[in-house]
Amino acid sequence: MQTTVGAILGTTFVVLAASTSAAFAKPGVITREAFACTSWAGAYVYTLASLTEQGAKANKNCPIRLSAGTKVEILETDENNYVMVFVDGRKWWIDGGRVK
């Protein structure tokens, strides 16, 4: 019985946390194609790699590409101009210059 109650309470917490994050989000749109990264550090490394002659490539830290016109929910912006967005039920970090 306790396992079932714990599972229900855990599920309820996850749903509330996700809806609370989305409640404080503001709508945004991707203005230029951007790779979405799983962490701030991944987005930073991707940006540094994009400045090299070889350029940056998709990898395990930045696995998906968001095309221009994709609607997102902006959750957070940091002082280095990286933005945490909510897309299709997941949080991603992208370059703030690519979202409006």
CATH of the domain at 34: 2.30.30
Whether the CB-CB separation of 26 and 74 falls below 8 Å is answered with: yes
Dist CA 50 CA 76 (whole Å):
23
Q: Is the pLDDT score of 74 beyond 50?
A: yes
Q: Which domain holds residue 85?
A: 26-98
* Predicted confidence (pLDDT) per residue in 18-39, tens digit: 444 455 778 999 999 989 999 9
Report yes or no on 89 lying in a domain.
yes
Length of the chain: 100
Q: Is the pLDDT score of 11 beyond 90?
A: no
Structurally, the chain folds into a number of domains equal to 1
Q: Please indicate whether residue 99 or residue 21 has the higher confidence score (pLDDT).
A: 99
The burial class, CB within 10 Å (0-12 / 13-18 / 19+), for 48 is exposed
**Residues near 27 by beta carbon (within 8 Å), at least 6 away in sequence:** 71, 72, 73, 74
Report yes or no on 21 lying in a domain.
no
Report yes or no on 19 lying in a domain.
no
Q: Is the pLDDT score of 43 beyond 80?
A: yes
Residue 57 — very low, low, confident or very high, per pLDDT cuts 50/70/90? confident
